[in-house]
Structure 1
Amino acid sequence: MSPKVTEEHKEQRKREIVEAAKRVFKRKGFAQATMHDIVEESGMSRGGVYMYFSSKEEIFDAILEQNDAELFAGIREMVDRHETMWGVVEEFIEMAEHELPNVTHDIGPVVYEVLMGSWRDEEKRALAKQRYQQTVDMYVSILQHGVESGEFRPILPIEDIAKSTLSFIDGLTLHILHLGRESINLRGQLTALKAYLRHALQVQGGGDGM
């Protein structure tokens, strides 16, 4: 095989291992999952998997990297689709309403298990802080565009608005995981979040309700 094909083959194998690990983590959780489980799920030999990843922690890091890349790419596409930043905010809330009810079937709970359940681990805490700040910065940049265009005239610092929004979504996620989605009025709470954001940002002009 040519070097190019070889690299493509390696990347494909890594993706297959990562996808196999996602299925295992979703099914068993991170703590109970083993490399043996991932090897069996992947259908590869033990040596074939260990050629790319030496531990489930390494695979988890690759999953985080993939998820973050997909999130940021999705937000960029969202920004490109809308003429206004308020439109982006509305779609973000609509996306939460669509995705949160199915969060127990996603990889999200595993991320919470590893990062939030390991708060005594300084390395994990540092990783969680880094990812959190990256996400905050991304939302701040969206809000800042709205401020610069005159669309938003916030009455609070936009970084605080971004952080409170993320805290709200994280809180809903944890409530669904621990209490079940039937225990919360998801639509009502997201409507309240939207009302808060409209007021905090002092959105200029009209806008649809949820």
Structure 2
Amino acid sequence: MPKVKPDHAERKKAEIVEAAKRVCRKKPVYEVAMRDIVMESGMSQGGVYKYFANIDEVFVAILNQETLTLSIKEGVDAIFQSQSEPVEKLDQFLFIIGQHIVASLKEDGSIYYELVSLYSKDPARFETVKDQLNEVSNLQYLQKSFATFLVEQIETGTFKTTMHKEEVLTLIEVYMTGLIHHQNPISKTSDELTEKISKQISVLSSALQKLLVGE
């Protein structure tokens, strides 16, 4: 039997992952099963299982497409290194996060965020896949960097609030989660999606400025 060339295997894996993403756009990720992906891919069941043993392996492949990119890292590093006032840096962080959300929703809808939510709600299931995941994603890097910035400003007294820093971070996380999951990129044009996300990010920025700076 002839050996399968590596590039052929990678193409087949990519086809299966794209089929899985199409399925995830049609139904909630927690309802997606391997049989859905097999049907969507047009391959045989054996053909799909040859490359992915179960649904979690497919989901990991989707999540690993979100590996940290140089542009995101450079954007965040530039904010930390800039001489801007802290309140301006807050706005800059939210702007780059908003840009990333818009780009992600345009490309894959809310699939990535739904998968993150799926595993965060099931720690035991996450334990089975965590070693297969790339170390840092764009979203993780943005969230961690923004949290580091906010905590530093609160601890030094630059940002003043009666809330605990953990409560501030939770407030932002809840808002962002709601922002992402209440979008329907399929029913919106690119400009409409960008405008809506921008407005919601602006609302969050104004709220944080009032909460942390009193402006």
Task: Give yes or no for the alignment of 1:79 onto 2:98.
Answer: no
- Helix, strand or coil for the counterpart of 1:17? helix
Q: What does residue 123 of structure 1 align with?
A: 124
Q: What does residue 13 of structure 1 align with?
A: 12
1:102: Cα distance to partner? Answer: 6.5
Letter in 2 for 1:190: I
1:37: Cα distance to partner? Answer: 2.9
C-alpha distance in 1 between matches for 2:172 and 2:113: 19
Task: Give yes or no for the alignment of 1:155 onto 2:160.
Answer: yes
Match for residue 99 of structure 2 among 92, 95, 100: 95
1:145: Cα distance to partner? Answer: 7.8
Letter in 2 for 1:36: R
Q: How is 1:137-156 mapped onto 2 (pairs within 5 angstroms)? A: 137-143=144-150, 153-156=158-161
Using structure 1 for the length normalisation, give the TM-score. Answer: 0.59
- Helix, strand or coil for the counterpart of 2:118? helix
1:49: Cα distance to partner? Answer: 1.8
Alpha-carbon distance change, 9 to 201 in structure 1, aligned in 2, over 3 angstroms? farther
CA deviation vs aligned residue, 1:147-186 (integer Å, no higher than 9, x gap): 89x9x92225655544322221112334557xx99xxx86
**2:76–2:145: 8 Å Cα contact kept in structure 1?**
no
1:53: Cα distance to partner? Answer: 0.7
1:107: Cα distance to partner? Answer: 1.3
**1:139–1:162: 8 Å Cα contact kept in structure 2?**
no
CA deviation vs aligned residue, 1:22-74 (integer Å, no higher than 9, x gap): 1112113335433233223334443332122111222113222333x25x656
1:86: Cα distance to partner? Answer: 3.6
CA-atom RMSD in angstroms: 4.7
Q: How is 1:186-205 mapped onto 2 (pairs within 5 angstroms)? A: 189-200=200-211, 202=213
Q: What does residue 166 of structure 1 align with?
A: 173
Q: What does residue 107 of structure 1 align with?
A: 111
Mind listing any 5+ residue stretches in structure 2 that lack a counterpart?
A: 129-135, 189-195
CA deviation vs aligned residue, 1:109-157 (integer Å, no higher than 9, x gap): 74377347xx4x4414768xxx9xx565343235468789x9x922256
Alpha-carbon distance change, 97 to 122 in structure 1, aligned in 2, over 3 angstroms? closer
Mind listing any 5+ residue stretches in structure 1 that lack a counterpart?
A: 204-210
C-alpha distance in 2 between matches for 1:61 and 1:90: 27
Q: How is 1:23-62 mapped onto 2 (pairs within 5 angstroms)? A: 23-62=22-61
C-alpha distance in 1 between matches for 2:198 and 2:159: 24
Letter in 2 for 1:192: V
